[in-house]
Amino acid sequence: MTLQGWAEIALTIALAVGLGWPLGIYMSRIWQGQTTWLDPVLHRPRIFIIDDEPQIHRFLHPALDAAGYEPIQALTGAEGLAAIARRAPDAVVLDLGLPDIDGKDALVRARTFYEGPILILSARDMETEKIDALDLGADDYVEKPFTVGELLARLRVAMRHRLNAAGSTPIVQAGDLNIDLIKRLVTRGGETVKLSPREYDLLVKLAEGGGRVLTHQHLLTAVWGPANASDVQYLRVFVGHLRQKLERDPANPRYLVTESGVGYRFLSD
C-alpha cells in the first residue's frame, strides 16, 4: 500500500475513535513522513540548497534555520531537480560546480517546471559566468566566499521580486484573514493561525487564484505533485481542515468556496 493509502487509514482511524480532525490530519502527516510526533505544526519558508560541498551545508543549515527558514540539502543536480519536482520550495540556492551536471544545465532544467527564486552560489568569479546564469533564469548570483547576511538579504529580495512579477501582493487580505506571503504567516482577527506546510501551500495557491475557480487536478498537482493529481478525497480533507481553522462557520464557508464537481475558489470579498 502507498503512503497515501496509509495516511488515509490513519485519518479514518482517528476519526472513528473520536480523536477529531486536527489529530486525524496530524496522524495522516506522520504516516507520510511530513512530520513527527514532536514536530510543531508551524510552517517556514523552504530553501533548497543544491551544493556538493558538505561544509557549505554545515555552514548554511544552522544559519538559515536560525533565520526562520527550513533548509533542505541536495548534493547533486539530479537529486536537487527531483526534490524540486516533488514539492516546489520557496527558493533555491544552486551551486554551478556540481559533480553530475553543470549548474547552468541544472538551472535550465529547473526553469522548465519551477518559477520560484533561484540564487546561484559559486566560486566562479568570471563576469561571463554571472551574465550567463542570469540570462538563463537565475534571480541573483552570490560568490564564494560570502557572508550569511548577504545571502539572506538576497534571498528576501529575490522572493519579493518573484511575488511582484507574478502579480501577487505580499499580503493577501480577506475580511479579518491576513496571509503574509513573505513571512509565511496567517492571522485571523490578529491571532496567528497555525497551519501545516501543506495546509499553507494549499491556502496560498487558492489565494493566488484571485477568485478564479481552481480545479481539483490543478490544486493537487501544484501542492502534492503530479503523482497525486487524482486524489480528490485527500484534497477535500485538507480543505475541510482549513475551513475549521479559518472560517467563522465552516459549514457555510466565506473564503474557501466549493464549486461542485470542479474545484475550489478563494473569495476575498
pLDDT digits (tens, 9 = 90+) for 171-187: 888 889 999 887 788 99
* Mean pLDDT of all residues in 158-164: 74
The residue type found at 145 is: P
Q: How far apart are CA 174 and CA 194, in angstroms?
A: 17
Burial class (CB in 10 A: 0-12, 13-18, 19+), 74: buried
* Mean pLDDT of all residues in 204-213: 84
Instruction: Kindly report the CATH number that applies to the domain delimited by 46-165.
Output: 3.40.50.2300
Q: What is the pLDDT of residue 125?
A: 67
Closest CA to 124 of 98, 85, 100, 105: 98
pLDDT digits (tens, 9 = 90+) for 71-122: 999 999 999 999 998 888 989 999 998 999 999 999 999 999 898 899 998 7
Beta strand 140-143 pairing with 46-50:
unpaired
pTM (whole model) above 0.75 = no
Q: How confident is the model at residue 254 (pLDDT cuts 50, 70, 90)?
A: very high
pLDDT digits (tens, 9 = 90+) for 22-38: 444 444 444 444 443 33
Q: Which fold has domain 168-269?
A: Arc Repressor Mutant, subunit A (1.10.10)
Q: Is 247 left (phi over 0), alpha (psi -120 to 50) or beta?
A: beta
